[in-house]
Each structure stands twice: as structure tokens, then as C-alpha cells.
Amino acid sequence: MNPLKKSLIILLMPLFAFAAAHKFYVSVTNVKYSEKDGAIQITSRIFIDDFENVLQERFGFDAELATENESEEADAYIEKYIRTKFAVEINGENASYNFIGKKYDADVMICYIEVPKINLAHTTSIQITNEILTDLFDEQQNIVHFKIDGKKKSFVLLKSDPKGMLNL
């Protein structure tokens, strides 16, 4: 082998190893208003393996998500964690929400949340605080897309800046 090619391979090898070992930590949350239900509906897509890691780290709970052995208590632990890391404010006031449930799509868990009884005509702002997985991964990015009343806005929420607001 040509000595120049050999040197180039030796120099590039560590870069490829780093690229393969590094993982991108991200979740995507969509926030919309359903006129039919009079509710803000939220879907959040989170990688299953990352969520399993946080449940193990935070609660010592082995959920075995998306497997035949998934714990019957998994939904309760998922909701417990989400309620500590995810908040909705309407017009500057904390809004209570319902954790509807979850489903799986390949390696992603999709969580469904609903804020019921919202009168959009009296709503001036909606704020999302999303700190999901930031306690486990400093690099975690939680992307939030608002699409309400013809207005669209997106945020990349970080551990240092976990809030995004849509003014109506």
C-alpha cells in the first residue's frame, strides 16, 4: 500500500470511530389545537432506548419498552417522568394535561398529551417547557413545533433553555 494512503487512513480512522460512537439526542414534539375537541393536542416522539435509560437511571425501573416483556407498570412510570419534565402554560398559567398514552413506531415512542377545555378565542399565549431526557443527556435537543390558529413556530429547546412560547 502506498505510504501516503496508509498515513491518510491512520489519520482518518479516529474520526470515523468518533462519528460511529457519537449519538444524536433529540425528541420532536408537535402542538396543535383541535377545534372539534376544544383541546390542545400534543404528540412527542422520543427514542425508546433513551427513554428506557432515563427510567432505569431515575427510578431503577427496567421497562423493556416495545417488547413482549414490557412491564405492566411502564405507562405509569412514563407518565410519572413526563409530568416532572414537561409543562404547559396557557396565558401564563400552568395548565393541567392528560397523558393519553403511547404507541411505538420502529425505534421511537410516540406519547400523546391533551390539554382539554381550551377556548382558543381567549388564549393569548401557549408555552411549552420540555426538559425530557436533559437530566440524562446534556446534548439533548427537544424540538417543539407549534401549529395553532394559522400560526407556526418552532423551537429547539435545550437543557439551558427549555421553554418555547407561541403568542396568539
Q: Does some domain include residue 9? A: no
Q: What share of the chain is helix, strand, coil (3-state, %, to 5)?
A: 25, 40, 30
C-alpha cell at 69: 416483556
Q: Does some domain include residue 74? A: yes
Q: Evaluate whether 114 touches 95 at the Cβ level (below 8 Å).
A: no
C-alpha cell at 152: 407556526
Q: Does some domain include residue 75? A: yes
**Mean pLDDT across 37-66:** 96
Q: Does some domain include residue 11? A: no
Q: Does some domain include residue 50? A: yes
Q: Does some domain include residue 5? A: no
Q: Is the pLDDT of residue 21 over 50?
A: no
Tens of pLDDT, residues 68-123: 999 999 999 999 999 999 999 999 999 999 999 999 999 999 999 999 999 999 99
Range of the domain at 117: 26-167
Q: Is the pLDDT of residue 19 over 60?
A: no
User: Could you tell me the maximum CA-CA distance found in the chain, to the nearest angstrom?
Assistant: 73
* Number of independent structural domains in the chain: 1
- Mean pLDDT (the chain, rounded): 89
Rounded to two decimals, the pTM is: 0.85
Q: Does some domain include residue 17? A: no
Q: Does some domain include residue 18? A: no
Residue 35: the pLDDT is 93
